Amino acid sequence: MNAIEIHNLSKSYGKVQALKNISFEVQQGELFGLIGPDGAGKSTLFRLLTTLLNPDEGSAKIDGLDMVKDYRLIRSRVGYMPGRFSLYPDLSVEENLQFFAALFGVKIEDSYDLIAPIYSQIEPFRTRKAGKLSGGMKQKLALSCALIHRPSVLFLDEPTTGVDAVSRNEFWDMLATLKTQGITIFVSTPYMDEASRCDRIALCNEGSILSIDTPQGIVQHFDAPIYGIRANNMLALLESARNAQGVIDCYPSGEWHHLVANTNFDVSKFESEFNHMDDFIIKSIEPTIEDVFIKLMKR
Amino acid sequence: MKGNFGSFVKKESLHILRDKRTMLVVMLIPVVLMLLFGFAISTEVNNINVAVVASNRTDGVKDAVEQISQNEYFTFCGYISPDQIDSKLRSSEVGAVVVFAADYDRRVEQASKGIPSKPLIQLIVDASNVNTAGSATAYLQNILLKSDAQQAMFETRMLFNPQLKSAYNFVPGIMGLIFILVCAMMTSVSIVREKEVGTMEVLLVSPVRPVKIIFAKMIPYFTISCIVLVMILLLARYLLGVPMSGGIWGIFSLSLLYLVLSLSLGLLISTIAQTQIAALLMSAMVLMMPILMLSGLLFPIENLPSFFQVLSNIIPARWYIDAMRKMMIQGDAITAVWHNCAILLGMTIALLGISLKKFNDKLE
């Protein structure tokens, strides 16, 4: 059985269509990533799947339950961590956890084994007010609260946004641990570099799904030659490279510009044209998910 | 599930207890308002300077002047000549001038024999403050008519509040206002806060019915309101001396009904407002203003334009304040104000019904 089945789901806010006819499945026990920029409709999809919103068209099943008809049942089975910090800042770490345990009618002790790897890290601060925790600790507490009732599907909407790089990495390690417990995890993120931590990912933009595959599969689909270029004057390089023969696209990516070429592209000719620039380097690179995303977005 | 509910109430109480400033305000406002209206702001007439014009200072005139100067509300400032009247009033040196007719004694005598005569006393009052002028006139008439037993053809007696103490009148009004403030405003803000902070999303994605969470939210505010109610009643009885002759249990139980009504109003606002500021403004504009203007708290309902008189019927505070005045000051029992109770009960049921129906367990 699939943990999540989505069929032709559409949702509009007034004239703005936030989701356009989306369909896909998430398997049981899968760590599934929804990757896309802000405004791609990620949060809307989360609110639909957690039954906070009703769809305009289409349907979805969570754990085999219909999102409209059985929404009450779904609510007791899923764990949800919204995009922004949604705990009580004036309550302590412990009080927050106790409240969420009461909300789901469970005892903390009964789920302690599940949350222990996460909660034990913030337990030394259990009397501290949740509002006074650091970003990483807030996320750990929120995750503990979302897990307190042993949900079968966990929805995490941008859990690593606004969290430092070390904590982000730790967070994904925690998700990997949870996956071993058989919990299906549906997670969204705007960071492309986190996509590789997922079993499968869906790239989305402007309410549509661009591609769904494993992170490796997504990258393998990139069918054009791609190069990294750099020089002292990056801006001048970018502008002239875009006009060079055989170049489909050229865009900045970290310390390099990525250059996507077509079959007419001649590396040695390009190199000789640009060699007059100081410290000019061109090298063949492996495409990243970001490259795939940009290519799909421009199509 | 029972222990469940208890932990919601506990969580809500923690929110309130940790917000010490709000707590203090809620507890202090009633006391401050009671003291303010009870002592400082009063419509009572005190220390009005009175000058007298009398061309013949006969025994009758002296007698009347003696009566005025002995009265605690007036201060006698001496005799003046008729052409000084205008300047004395204009400079606010005096608030009222009493002019005795030259043949005052003779006219009094005629009047006592039943012979109709022209006015024998003229009152000239500074009416730039209408309330003061009205009260001063009434008091002066009272004194001067009483000054001559034969003149007392009719006698006014103030019942229930013989000294016309304004505190009496304000206590029910303040109660009508305070409970809306504590119950409606604070509950609506605390519910809307969950929407604004985003915790409402998490609460909704749980097996607990949101109505249960909402009721758990109301209990601490209801408790606070009960404490405030007891505080106000004690202050009213022992500090301001409001008689409460209508029976304390009637007053208490009608107030409890009004508390539930205010909570329902707060719930209704919380279903409409999306931000705390909006909830606050709605409470202030939709609840406070009409209560101040249309409930009879500041202005008697009979003095309102007829449109507003009709409109005042839908203001719950109007019925509550009216019933409270009757029970606290006139000494009516709760049975005498049964129709106020019935209207308030009907309003409570309607408001609770509408807001529970409107309360959505989805985000839109």
Could you tell me if B353 and B264 are in contact, meaning their C-beta atoms sit under 8 angstroms apart?
no
Do the domain assignments include residue A296? no
User: How many other CB atoms are found less than 10 A from the CB of residue B134?
Assistant: 14
Q: Exposure of B1 by Cβ count < 10 A (0-12 exposed, 13-18 middle, 19+ buried)?
A: exposed
Tokens of B44: 């009572």
Interface residue A86 vs chain B (CB under 8 A): yes
Q: Which of residues B103 and B349 earns the better pLDDT score?
A: B349
SS3 A149: coil
Under DSSP, the state recorded for B328 is: I
Q: Which of A92, A103, A104, A154 to mutate to test the interface with B (most CBs of B within 10 A)?
A: A103
Q: Of A29-33, A275-279, B33-37, B248-252, give the lowest mean pLDDT range.
A: B33-37
Average pLDDT over residues B169-181: 82
pLDDT of residue B181: 77
Mean pLDDT value across chain B: 82
Mean pLDDT value across chain A: 92
Interface residue A99 vs chain B (CB under 8 A): yes
Spell B24-58 as b/e; 16+ CB within 10 A means b. Answer: eebeebbeebbeebbeeebeebeebbbbbbbeeeb
Among the candidates A177, A204, A220, a domain finishes at A220
What is the model's pTM? 0.79
Do you know the residue count of chain A? 299
Q: Residues A139, A26: one domain?
A: yes
Nearest CA in chain B to A87: B199
Tens-place pLDDT, residues B204-234: 999 888 788 888 888 998 998 899 899 888 9
Q: Residues A215, A234: one domain?
A: no
Could you tell me if A183 and A177 are in contact, meaning their C-beta atoms sit under 8 angstroms apart?
no
When mean pLDDT is compared over A37-41, B27-31, B137-141, the highest value belongs to A37-41
Tens-place pLDDT, residues B266-275: 989 988 888 9
Q: Of A11-25, A145-159, A188-202, B272-286, give the lowest mean pLDDT range.
A: B272-286
pLDDT of residue B184: 87
User: How many other CB atoms are found less than 10 A from the CB of residue B202?
Assistant: 24
Residues in chain A closer than 8 A to B364 (CB atoms): 53-54
Tell me the three-class secondary structure of A236-288, residue by residue. HHHHHHHHCCCEEEEEEECCEEEEEECCCCCHHHHHHHHCCCCCCEEEECCCC
Q: Which of residues B256 and B132 earns the better pLDDT score?
A: B256
Among the candidates A220, A248, A265, a domain finishes at A220
What are the DSSP calls for A27-75, one per residue?
ETT-EEEEE--TTSSHHHHHHHHTTSS--SEEEEEETTEETTTTHHHHH
Q: Of A20-24, A77-81, B115-119, give the lowest mean pLDDT range.
A: B115-119
Question: Strands across the sheet with A247-253, in order?
Answer: A247-253, A256-261, A226-230, A281-284
The Cα–Cα gap between B301 and B297 comes to 9
Q: Residues A179, A157: one domain?
A: yes
The Cα–Cα gap between A147 and A152 comes to 9
Do the domain assignments include residue A232? yes
Rg value, chain B, Cα: 27
What are the DSSP calls for A213-234, one per residue?
E-HHHHHHT--S-EEEEE-SSH
Residue B23's alpha-carbon distances to A21, B14, B33, B228, in angstroms, are 50, 11, 16, 11
User: Residue A256 maps to which CATH number?
Assistant: 3.30.70
Do the domain assignments include residue A291? no
B201 and A82 within 8 Å at the Cβ level: the answer is yes
Among the candidates A201, A220, A239, a domain finishes at A220
Do the domain assignments include residue A299? no
pLDDT of residue B152: 43
User: Which range marks the domain in which residue A116 is found?
Assistant: 2-220
Tell me which residue in B7, B197, B204 faces A102 most closely, judged by beta carbons.
Answer: B7
Whether B154 has a pLDDT exceeding 60, the answer reads no
Q: Residues A20, A52: one domain?
A: yes
Tens-place pLDDT, residues A83-102: 888 899 999 999 999 999 99
pLDDT of residue B94: 87
- Percent of all residues in chain B with a pLDDT value above 70, rounded to a whole number: 88
User: Residue A157 maps to which CATH number?
Assistant: 3.40.50.300
Do the domain assignments include residue A179? yes
pLDDT of residue B153: 46
Q: Residues A160, A266: one domain?
A: no
Whether B90 has a pLDDT exceeding 90, the answer reads no
B204 and A76 within 8 Å at the Cβ level: the answer is no
Banded model confidence at residue B117, pLDDT cuts 50, 70, 90: low
- Percent of all residues in chain A with a pLDDT value above 70, rounded to a whole number: 100
pLDDT of residue B335: 86
Do the domain assignments include residue A66? yes
**Scanning the structure block, which residue is given the tokens 């249990």?**
B249
Do the domain assignments include residue A164? yes
Q: Which of residues B209 and A41 earns the better pLDDT score?
A: A41
pLDDT of residue B349: 94
In chain B, domain spans: 2-41+165-358, 48-151
SS3 B4: helix
Continuous segment of H or E residues that includes residue A156: strand A153-156
pLDDT of residue B159: 55
A84 and B1 within 8 Å at the Cβ level: the answer is no
User: What is the CATH code of the structural domain delimited by B48-151?
Assistant: 3.40.1710.10
Nearest CA in chain B to A13: B364
C-alpha of A114 from chain center: 23
Q: Residues A39, A146: one domain?
A: yes
Do the domain assignments include residue A292? no
Residues facing A34 on adjacent strands: A188, A202
CA atoms within 13 Å, Cβ hemisphere of A47: 22
pLDDT of residue B254: 93
Tell me which residue in A84, A85, A99 faces B7 most closely, judged by beta carbons.
Answer: A99
Q: Residues A198, A145: one domain?
A: yes
Interface predicted TM-score (ipTM): 0.86
Do you know the residue count of chain B? 364
Tens-place pLDDT, residues A123-138: 999 999 999 998 889 9
pLDDT of residue B157: 53
For chain A, how many structural domains are there in total?
A: 2
Instruction: Write the CB contacts of B196 (distance below 8 Å, at least 6 apart in sequence).
Output: B274, B275, B276
Measured between its terminal Cα atoms, the distance across chain B in Å is 28
Q: Exposure of A60 by Cβ count < 10 A (0-12 exposed, 13-18 middle, 19+ buried)?
A: buried
